[in-house]
Amino acid sequence: MISVAVIGGGAAGMMAALEAASRGAAVSVYERQNRVGRKLAVTGNGRCNLTNLHASPQSYHGLDPGFAAPALNRFSPMETLAHFRGLGLLTVFEPDGRVYPLSDTAGSVVDVLRFAMEASGVCLKDSCEVTALERAGSGWRVKCTEGSFEADRVIAACGGMAGERFGGTNKGYELLEALGHHRTPLRCSLVQLRCGNPSCRSLKGIRADAAVRVFFGDALLAYSAGEIQFTDYGLSGPAVFEISREALSRPGIVVSLDLLRSVTEEELSEMLLRRAERTPQLTMSDIFLGTVQNRIGRILVSSAGLKGSESVESLTEKAARRLARLAKHFEFPVIGDMGAANAQVTVGGIRTDEFDPETMESRLWPGLYACGELLDVDGDCGGYNLQWAWSSGRLAGLSAAGV
C-alpha cells in the first residue's frame, strides 16, 4: 500500500487526502494549527463561497496562467459540487455563479471533509508542523515537531501567506525552497487598499454603491461595481477587493470612484444647477442632498474648493461641472494594502514550471506533489480560489496514490 503524507490540512490538503485515500493509499495529514480547515471555516464571511459556476482557466493568474487548466478541466465546478453532494453537502448558487452551502455556514464544508477523511481512515495529525523534508530511499522522511515519519509520497498543500490569522504562512515556500524549488515574488490580493486621499479619515465607516476603476496613467486596468466602504486608511468592500489585484500591480496606480453611476456627468451638473436655482435657501454643503450620503456630499464640496457655508446661489456652471466631475471621478492614489493578515489570497508562489500540470508532481523530485495557493496560481474574487484548491488538491491526491 502506498503511503502519502499531506502537509497542510486546508482546502487543498483535505481534498488531496480524501482522493488519495479513496484510491487505496495510507494517508496522513500534518496540520500545524490545532485543527484542520481553520481558514476554510472563515471563508466567504463565514458562509464559504466554495466555487463559482463560471470558473474556467481564464479566471486564474500567475507566470503561466495555463498551468491551472488541466486540473480545472479534470475537476470542474460541476464535478466539485457533485463530489460535495456525495459527501452530504447541499449547495445553493447566486445569479453571479457564486456557490454556497445550503446551510449558509462554512463550518459545514469543513465538517463534511473532516468526517469523510475520518471515515476513509486518514490519520489527522493536528498541532504538528512539518519543518523539513528529506529523501529516504525512494520515499521521504517528514520531519515535524512531533518527530520523524516516513512516507512514499508527499503532497505539499501548505497554502500561501494570505490570511495569517487563519494559518497563512511562508513555511510552505521555505520547505520547498530548501529542496531547490523557487518562488516568484509574493504580494497580497483580495485585500483592502491604503490610499493617499486625505478625505479617507472624514469618510470612515461610510458604505456606498460605486463603480470602481483602476488607472495607470490613462490606461484603464480594471473595473468593478458594487459596494465599497471608506475606512480611515483608504478603501474596502467587495467591489474594492475585486480590483485589488490590479490596483496593487505596480506603483503609481489611482483608483477612481464613480459615486453616482446612474447619471452622466452632464446630467449631474445640470441637476446641481437646477437645485441651486430652485432652492436658493440651501448652503453648498447640502448641494448633493438626495444623491449621495451627506458626509460624502460635504467632502466633495470641500474637495472642489467650495465653502460649505456659502449659499448655493453662488454656484457657477464651472463649479457645478467641477462637482459633477468629482462625484463621477473621485480619485484615490493607491499607496499599499492592509497586509497578509487581512488579505484573502497570495499573488505569486512556488514556480509552476517546476511542476507537471497534468499530475502536480515536482519536476525536480519524483514523489513530491504540490497543490493549492502554495503554487503561483491565484484566482479572481468569487469562489475561484477554493475551486483551484479543490481541483489541484484532487489531482495531486489522485496522482500521488499512483493511479
Ligand X SMILES: Cc1cc2nc3c(=O)[nH]c(=O)nc-3n(C[C@H](O)[C@H](O)[C@H](O)COP(=O)(O)OP(=O)(O)OC[C@H]3O[C@@H](n4cnc5c(N)ncnc54)[C@H](O)[C@@H]3O)c2cc1C
Asked whether 395 and 154 are in contact (CB, 8 A), the reply is: no
Told to check if 33 binds ligand X by CB under 6 A, we report yes
3-state DSSP assignment of residue 62: coil
Q: Considering the complex, what minimum distance in angstroms separates the CB of residue 144 from ligand X?
A: 7
The binder of ligand X chosen from 2, 124, 142, 158 (CB under 6 A): 158
Q: Nearest 5°: phi and psi at 39?
A: -70, -40
C-alpha cell read off for 93? 448558487
- Within 10 angstroms of residue 321's Cβ, the number of other Cβ atoms is 18
Window of 40-48, 87-95, 176-184, 306-314 that interacts with ligand X by CB under 6 A: 40-48
Sequential DSSP letters for 217-284? TTEEEEEEEEEEEE-SSEEESHHHHHHHHHHTSSTTEEEEEES-TTS-HHHHHHHHHHHHHH-TTSBG
Total residues binding ligand X (CB under 6 A): 43
Q: Which residue has the cell 483551484?
A: 388
Sequential DSSP letters for 99-133? EEETT--HHHHHHHHHHHHHHTTPEEE-S--EEEE
Q: Considering the complex, what minimum distance in angstroms separates the CB of residue 159 from ligand X?
A: 3
The binder of ligand X chosen from 234, 348, 372, 397 (CB under 6 A): 372
Told to check if 397 binds ligand X by CB under 6 A, we report no
Told to check if 163 binds ligand X by CB under 6 A, we report yes
Residue 45 or 281: which CB sits closer to ligand X? 45
Told to check if 7 binds ligand X by CB under 6 A, we report yes
Told to check if 350 binds ligand X by CB under 6 A, we report no
Amino acid at 373: E
The binder of ligand X chosen from 84, 166, 173, 241 (CB under 6 A): 166
Would you give the binding string for ligand X spanning residues 49-78, x where CB under 6 A is met?
x-----------------------------
Q: Considering the complex, what minimum distance in angstroms separates the CB of residue 87 from ligand X?
A: 17
Beta-carbon contacts of residue 18 (< 8 Å; ≥ 6 apart): 113, 116, 117, 120, 122, 397
Told to check if 236 binds ligand X by CB under 6 A, we report no
Residue of minimal CB distance from ligand X? 10
Asked whether 328 and 265 are in contact (CB, 8 A), the reply is: yes
* CA-based nearest residue to 321, from 266, 279, 283: 266
Window of 80-88, 167-175, 211-219, 350-358 that interacts with ligand X by CB under 6 A: 167-175
The binder of ligand X chosen from 159, 237, 348, 367 (CB under 6 A): 159
C-alpha cell read off for 398? 489522485
Told to check if 345 binds ligand X by CB under 6 A, we report yes
Segment 76-135, which members bind ligand X (CB under 6 A)? Answer: 129-130
CA distance 4 to 319: 69
The binder of ligand X chosen from 62, 77, 101, 172 (CB under 6 A): 172
Q: Considering the complex, what minimum distance in angstroms separates the CB of residue 257 from ligand X?
A: 24
Told to check if 171 binds ligand X by CB under 6 A, we report yes
* Residues in touch with ligand X (CB under 6 A): 7-13, 30-33, 38-40, 42-44, 48-49, 129-130, 157-159, 162-163, 166-169, 171-172, 175, 344-345, 372-374, 383-386, 389
